[in-house]
Amino acid sequence: MKISFHGQSCIKVVTEDVTILVDPFISGNPQCDLVMEDEKPDYIIVTHGHDDHVGDTVAIAQQTGATVIANVELATFLSMEGVENLAPLHIGGKRVFDFGTVKLTQAFHGSSTVKDGKIINLGLPTGFVLSIDGKNIYHAGDTGLFSDMKLIGQLSELDVAFLPIGDNFTMGPEDAAVAAEFLQAKVVVPMHYNTFPLIAQDPHAFVASLNTELRGKVLDIGASMTI
């Protein structure tokens, strides 16, 4: 299985049988190396309703027929925007798919968009645990630090954890290091940084700050790792 990072919180998981795209903020993102028209995922997972996470979800789903996995309110909104194939879940809920399972986890953040000059609430923000090919991948979404991350790590032996480090809108590096201790994933990968000045961070400094028993890994834009 190959996991690649594409700026902000966008990752791609590719196995022999399926391609899963997460938070596809492609258009308008100078940090992203993907071309929206070239993406052909089988599934798209969206953690919450902010534009830098929903990104090109509607366009990609319409051009490919991909199934979009999201919380119920966001999934309902996306259906109104023209997405046909949806798999709504909510926090604590797990669903079995042909590739494995997705379980939504809590995240402490917001989830909304602006349409016709009005703010639309799109339910609670989420992270998720993706269980696929015998591996468990945790994507925290946008969140602050919370102590129940310990439970996420206890309930699923995590092979990889993607954690935001940008600060200002999410955890900063110091809190993300605590989150890594809570989760005890085999590999910790920083995300949600350097897209714009307010979230400028040094991911290598974050990795260097981790407890020596934890393995951190910086994925450059477009880089991948095999698990």
- Report the interhelical angle of 57-64 vs 72-80 (nearest 10°): 70
Q: What per-residue confidence (pLDDT) applies to 53?
A: 98
pLDDT at 123: 97
Share of residues in the chain with pLDDT > 90 (%): 99
Share of the chain residues as helix, strand and coil, in percent rounded to the nearest 5? 25, 30, 45
**Strands (DSSP E) found in the chain:** 2-5, 11-14, 19-22, 43-45, 67-71, 86-89, 94-97, 100-106, 112-115, 118-121, 126-132, 135-139, 160-164, 187-191, 224-226
What dihedral angle (degrees, nearest 10) is formed by the CA atoms of 23, 14, 127, 189?
-90
Are the C-beta atoms of 58 and 81 separated by less than 8 Å?
yes
Q: What is the model's pLDDT at position 63?
A: 96
What confidence category does residue 213 fall into, taking pLDDT thresholds of 50, 70 and 90?
Answer: confident
- Give dist(CA 71, CA 19) in Å, integer: 20
What integer is the mean pLDDT of 63-88?
Answer: 98
- Average pLDDT (11-35) is 97
Per-residue pLDDT at 93 exceeds 90: yes
Q: Which two tokens stand for residue 47?
A: 């953690």
Cβ of 198: how many Cβ atoms within 10 Å? 9
Can you give the pLDDT at residue 51?
A: 97
What is the average pLDDT score of the chain?
97
**Stretch 151-180: mean pLDDT:** 98
Q: What is the mean pLDDT of residues 77-106?
A: 98
Give the separation between CA 156 and CA 204, rounded to whole angstroms: 26
Tokens 């994925």 sit at which residue?
219
- Lookup: tokens for 25: 């903020």
What is the structure's pLDDT at 12?
98
Rounded CA Rg of the chain: 16
pLDDT at 106: 98
Q: What is the pLDDT of residues 96-155, one digit of tens each?
A: 999 999 999 999 999 999 999 999 999 999 999 999 999 999 999 999 999 999 999 999
d(Cα 177, Cα 2) in Å, to the nearest integer?
A: 24
The stretch 152-178 carries a mean pLDDT of 98
How confident is the model over 187-205, as pLDDT tens digits? 999 999 999 999 999 999 9
Q: How far apart are CA 22 and CA 19, in angstroms?
A: 10
Q: Are 181 and 191 in contact (CB under 8 A)?
A: no
| Per-residue confidence (pLDDT) for residue 212, from 0 to 100 | 82
Closest C-alpha to 162, from 6, 14, 11: 11
Average pLDDT over residues 13-22: 98
Pairing of the two strands 19-22 and 11-14: antiparallel
Asked if 179 and 185 count as a contact pair (C-beta separation under 8 A), the reply is: no
Give me the pLDDT at residue 146, please: 98
Domain ranges of the chain: 2-215
Quick one: pLDDT at residue 120?
A: 96
Superfamily of domain 2-215: Ribonuclease Z/Hydroxyacylglutathione hydrolase-like (3.60.15.10)
Reply yes or no on whether the pLDDT at 216 is more than 90.
yes
Given a cut of 90, is residue 175 above it in pLDDT?
A: yes
